[in-house]
Amino acid sequence: MVQDNSYAASLLDALEYAAEMHRDQRRKGAEASPYINHPIQVARLLASVGGVSDLPALMAAILHDTIEDTTTEKQDLVERFGDEVAGLVEEVSDDKSLPKAERKKQQVDHSPHLSDRAKMIKIADKICNVRDIAENPPAHWDLDRRRRYFDWANAVVDGCRGVNDELEACFFAAVAESSAAVDGEAS
């Protein structure tokens, strides 16, 4: 599918911004991969598995952790990418001023109320996180903590169901494969 140059330029602008904002960050896994790989994977899943070609959704996927995990504020995104993209990023962002347990509870409680595009971003994000936790977990995460993450991710995605069958199937397959891998480690 050929898009016009403004489509590609917009995606690359979002990628450049996310790379700059996440430049000093690493993933929590033992390999400590560059953080920017994660939002790229989320956007790739939306496009390749979910069949999403909606530009604001793909841009928001690339930017989805900028408000939550960098110095970016919503207004920064509004000024550079517009209200629509900034709103989607805000919609999938946790309030870091809250304790972690409350943020996790809010993700479960709020997921049914997200827009369809935000739900798809959330599902793709959880697919990536589940795979990462199975394949390259943080060093201090024991098997029980990894299993609890899979259960929590399931609860979040349950609230997002009904927006994209392919992403949902991919998520549940990732959880099944990841759970089997973790259970295999326990044996």
- Give the separation between CA 49 and CA 101, rounded to whole angstroms: 31
CA-nearest of 53, 34, 64, 54 to 127 is 64
Does 185 qualify as catalytic in the annotation? no
Does 31 qualify as catalytic in the annotation? no
- Give the separation between CA 15 and CA 115, rounded to whole angstroms: 23
Q: Select which of 68, 76, 84, 166 is catalytic.
A: 68
Helix axes 165-186, 116-135, angle to 10 degrees: 20
Q: Select which of 13, 54, 69, 90 is catalytic.
A: 69
The residues carrying an active-site annotation are 68-69
